[in-house]
Structure 1
Amino acid sequence: MTPTPTKLLSADNIPIPGIFSSDDISLAVPSTGEGTRPPTVKYMSAPSYQSPLRHHRRAASTTRQVKETLNARSEYSNSEDDGTAQHRINQYLIKQEIGRGSFGAVHLAVDQYGHEYAVKEFSKSRLRKRAQSNLLRRPSARNRRQGALAAGLGFNSPLHRHSSSDNDPNNSLDLIKEEIAIMKKLNHPNVVSLIEVLDDPEEDSLYMVMEMCKKGVVMQVGLEERADPYEEEQCRCWFRDMILGLEYLHAQGIIHRDIKPDNCLITDDDVLKIVDFGVSEMFEKESEMQTAKSAGSPAFMPPELCVAKHGQVSGRAADIWSMGVTLYCLRFGRIPFEKTGVLDLYDSIRNDEVEVGSDCDEDLKDLLTRLLEKDPQKRIKMEELREHPWVTRRGTDPLLSTAENIDVLVEPPTEAELNAAITGNMGHLITVVSVSPNPLNILNS
């Protein structure tokens, strides 16, 4: 029998869909040291499901307008407190450097209300050099438009872009314009959202503001790094978030290609959001979601991509494999295939069976087996995954319908939207995204 909730809140006092809080439940983010894990939030919902309401009902949709500030202004001054140099971009005060990637640095930024963001800077010259390099290595342009989403929290996004103007490397900015235009279209509770785009014509700079994911990466884990595993119920809650987010992306013709714990951020109210679209692809038709690129993190790569000259593979099936590896990490605190060398790792992914232990829940064991099926044709599909007994607690806790989850399908950006995404001549590209407690981890893709 499903337990009856002890307290129900009316729609008038629910600040965030699916999140029920009371005076004795603190959503404040504690001051935690390196490697510590923030506390999770308790949920109640009506009807009395065991999972948060967001898994059963999507909030009423409203058109999300991304603010475009095309005349942003940068100011430089000295701090009145200690005399140190300050850089302000409109309402954002740039603070200390918190990370560095291939194309520039990441800085903490605070707006006039004290809300924190992370500012990433890109060098146009480096983008052009990489675009030239890609042109030399890449075969003729494909008939199918290939593009990728803007990095939620990654620096390598411009490395994998293809434009209709393949013969002119100076048009690399058009590729970034497409990324921004696509990001402006995405609107889902489990996908990081673009909030604002700012262009500084005087300094030839661009800024993007992304929503906050204050608790940071869901887990720090890698081939040479283990972590404390989560309890099964917490794993289930966040895996359901992941299902809803990835189902939405796939419905838009988007494959992520780098699902892993580092690219799953947790908000201060314990919602998992998928980030870092640095190696993602967006297809004009959902039925064409085949890829030949071996992008992403090796430990999370599916077997079909761990061979030379693998040809076209299903992008959806590849994402689902990576979801399985991520779920394994959350539950067991380690990578399922632990090998030090890349070749040995690929061999293990292709041939070794996953070890889950005799005490593993039978439904979870079955789910992991189907997620980590070596044959992509036999691997569990999204429509089966969302109905799996472990995901739904044997049918007692179903997810909201696919139709409600995917809501309005996203079309590829129009020419007008591409032109509006970025304006002016840009010597450097600067991105503002939400900060996390462990920014260095989410810069690796």
Structure 2
Amino acid sequence: MLPALQTIGEDQSQNPYTELLVLKGHHDIVRFLVQLDDHRFASAGDDGIIVVWNVQTGEKLLELRGHTQKLTAIIAFPPLDSREEGSQLILTASADRTVFWDCDTGRQIQRVSCLQSTVKCLTVLRRLDVWLSGGNDLGVWNRKLDLLCKTDHLSETGISALVEIPRDCVVAAVGKELIIFRLLAPTEDLQEWDIIEVKRLLDHQDNILSLVNINDTSFATGSHVGELIIWDALDWTVQACERSFWNPSSQLDAQQEIKLCQKQNDISINHATCDEENIFAAVGRGLYVYNLQLKRVIACQKTAHDSNILHIDKLPNRQLISCSEDGSVRIWEVREKQQLAAEPVPTGFFNMWGFGRVNKQTSQPVKKQQENSTTCSLELTGDLIGHSSSVEMFLYFEDHGLVTCSADHLIILWKNGERESGFRSIKLFQKLEEDGDLYHAVYP
């Protein structure tokens, strides 16, 4: 039986987000947020509208209309050289077409209507100054929206995620397969761009839901049945894995199968993020911290939310933010604690739940060097209550706060209340000084 959901009261001394601005610009589910620069972001969703906002003030800067169906992907396409005076561009994808926008003017630059399937994901390869569209095939495009090359039809499932890896390669998640593609730029011997399939990785047992780049030498994937695999980005071999297999017997009755289905949903790795040390995985309703060096889970909250977690991200100072289908946004702190000598160190991702492969070594005494090893805990430090429906994702803007989007059609800009109060005080004194009233305010 899963433990009760952790809660936090009104006294949230470690939660800086005590002020909020509700931004209204959509009339359907808002699924996507993308950062454009240090003070702007764009939102998009099922109403087909893209809105550009000022994160400092919450002001609506632009409203981009042109799609007739819901958005399926959005990405920023910055200038090749950050020192150039080029415009910031936005790529948006929908079942109706893919559109290129100038987010400084709101002008629709061009649209692509020759795609044979809905684009599910977009990614930009800055070094090559091209972008990729993933659907039932993989297309490579330049900044002018010229199709440089594309693959043959891959599958009816389509590409659900794309990540760039070294040597001009990308890895595409297609159902339960990973396909490695290499891009070939024109040379003296090659007249045109080309993209070739170089390898298929078939280690997952079910559909891949999360794909994340760890560093220049590795990436990670998570599946619907709770498989976390760490891959070598150079030779595409498995570096480490944590698995939980779901193999219902044909002899089980319908009620037992329903229970197994529910358990399967509890272990889906819906989203993942990472830093140089750890992978942070949203597993059903729970949060797990997997240490890359130790190759084991070092912290977990099995019921971090009431419903499935949709998005997580790491913040400075060992903090983590998660949002869920239950409408909540939560802040966690990863705290180190000393592992007791009598307490066995977890050896498997899902052995904590009591199922999965049995490791023969788990029954053996813990090695001496592990007796004093460090493990961690995930402590709830903040609960942001504001949305009335599923929170799809969020963006962290450091000093400017946190932005969340939801199925309730709203965007909420969460601000550091203490910091904002200080700003208001400074502005008030500046205004009084300008009006010549500062002396009278101090010395009435």
Whichever of the two has the greater Rg, that structure is: 2
Q: Counting strand residues as a fraction of each chain, which structure ranks higher?
A: 2
Structure number with greater CO (CA < 8 Å, separation at least 6) is: 1
Give the TM-score normalised by the residue count of structure 1.
0.26
Q: Counting helix residues as a fraction of each chain, which structure ranks higher?
A: 1
